[in-house]
Amino acid sequence: MSILDWIEDQKKLKLLNAPKYNHPASDGSKGLWTRCDHCGVILYIKHLKENRRVCFGCGYHLQMNSQERIDHLIDVGTWRLLDETVSPCDPLQFWDQKAYIDRLKESQERTGLQDAIQTGTGMLYDIPIALGVMDFYFMGGSMGSVVGEKITRLIEYATQEGLTLILVCASGGARMQEGVLSLMQMAKISGALQIYQSCANLLYISILTSPTTGGVTASFAMLGDLIFAEPKALIGFAGRRVIEQTLQEQLPDDFQTSEYLLHHGLLDLIIPRSFLKSALVETITLYKDAPLKRSGNIPYGIQQNVNFITEEKNRRKLSKKTLEYENSEFKDSENTNLRFFMSFQNILKIARSINSWSKK
Ligand SMILES: [Zn+2]
């Protein structure tokens, strides 16, 4: 080895061993510079974003947030959010080192999302699709009751409208802070998918990104008619150490990577990010003429999707009625129809709760 080679080696080692710089106020997705998790090269974030967060040095696919993925996949100006107001609560009043409710608030402020997923509809080169994108920056993309509910509603909407469904997974698994309410989402989503796939015969493509683990892998991530993955993505159920300790066996180095899973028949395709959109379009176009395809009716009825506009409309409608009632002359009249009064009481109750909710 020449002295120049030695210096080059030392430089690489230093880069690899250097601690990753994290500004206290940043989450790694902000700031000017970042470091590739795979080869250690320092990357200018502006250029990295233009390159869809693919490393210039080694081609490694770094993490993307949900908005970047939507911008990358959906045609400009066609994205329409569904259920953007559904927000999590704290049914178990869970507390570890910090209260769950505080963790939620902090993640909501940092990411600008209500929970770890965005769902909606949009156009993919003029083909209408239903899309759900998980966000790993929101509490590790964990699946709580809100994520489960939003995915289920998206699947039901896609079933009714006969849309192709695409879910982009990036998750650490079920959210432990919500206990069994998180776990039941696995079965709930699988139930909705069964109707979508087997009764309505529609196409569901699941896209696995790094990392897809735990309860998400055990439910909808692996239920796709077609399962795509990004190169070198970490995909698995339990962690590597747990499996090694249980089996008392040494696992291969590439265990739980997308290449390993493709080799063992768990995936259909590994596709680099830059070709993802065109691959999806080609697949959907190929499937377009499938003879058995039809949109379906949900046997147990569909939950109405809400967005900010409908919610605001409802709120105004109810507060107007409340006002009318309070000013009306039959407020104290004995002739008031009891049933009318009872139903009005209910409306008032709802209006008050919505009012108090909107003040929060
Ligand atoms: Zn790299």
Q: What is the DSSP string of 208-243?
A: EEEEE-HHHHTTGGG--SEEEE-TT-BB-SS-HHHH
d(CA 59, CA 57): 6
Q: What is the pLDDT of residues 135-186, one digit of tens each?
A: 999 999 999 999 999 999 999 999 988 899 999 999 999 999 999 999 999 9
* Residue-level pLDDT at 355: 58
CA 63 to centroid of ligand 1, rounded, Å? 12
Q: CA neighbours within 13 Å on the CB side: how many for 53?
A: 20
3-state helix, strand, coil in the chain (%, to 5): 45, 15, 40
Homologous superfamily (CATH) of 65-288 is 2-enoyl-CoA Hydratase; Chain A, domain 1 (3.90.226.10)
* Residue-level pLDDT at 312: 75
CA 342 to centroid of ligand 1, rounded, Å? 65
Closest by CA position to 227, among listed 205, 210, 212: 205
CA 325 to centroid of ligand 1, rounded, Å? 65
CA 43 to centroid of ligand 1, rounded, Å? 9
CA 62 to centroid of ligand 1, rounded, Å? 9
d(CA 219, CA 186): 5
d(CA 180, CA 222): 21
Q: Are strands 204-212 and 164-171 parallel, antiparallel or unpaired?
A: parallel
**Nearby residues of 345 by Cβ (< 8 Å), 6 or more positions away:** none
CA 264 to centroid of ligand 1, rounded, Å? 26
CA 100 to centroid of ligand 1, rounded, Å? 35
The two structure tokens encoding residue 268: 């259909």
CA 30 to centroid of ligand 1, rounded, Å? 18
* Per-position b or e across 237-251, b if 16+ CB within 10 A of its CB: beeeeeeeeeeeeee
CA 280 to centroid of ligand 1, rounded, Å? 26
CA dihedral 25, 28, 31, 36 (to 10 degrees): 150
Q: What is the pTM of this model?
A: 0.76
Closest by CA position to 147, among listed 127, 133, 130, 161: 133
Question: Do 142 and 91 meet the contact criterion of CB atoms below 8 Å apart?
Answer: no
Give 10-residue mean pLDDT values along the chain (360 residues).
76 61 48 88 92 92 94 94 91 90 94 94 92 95 95 93 93 93 94 90 93 94 95 93 91 92 95 95 86 66 62 75 66 48 59 58
Containing 269, the helix (H) or strand (E) segment is strand 269-270
Containing 71, the helix (H) or strand (E) segment is helix 66-73
Q: Give the Cβ contact number of residue 39 at 10 Å.
A: 15
CA 8 to centroid of ligand 1, rounded, Å? 17
CA 168 to centroid of ligand 1, rounded, Å? 23
The two structure tokens encoding residue 161: 């409208």
* Residue-level pLDDT at 344: 56
CA 50 to centroid of ligand 1, rounded, Å? 15
CA 40 to centroid of ligand 1, rounded, Å? 6
* Residue-level pLDDT at 22: 46
CA 134 to centroid of ligand 1, rounded, Å? 23
C-alpha distance from residue 296 to each of 125, 151, 197, 202, 288 (Å): 25, 17, 10, 9, 17
C-alpha distance from residue 99 to each of 96, 105, 186 (Å): 6, 10, 25
CA 229 to centroid of ligand 1, rounded, Å? 18
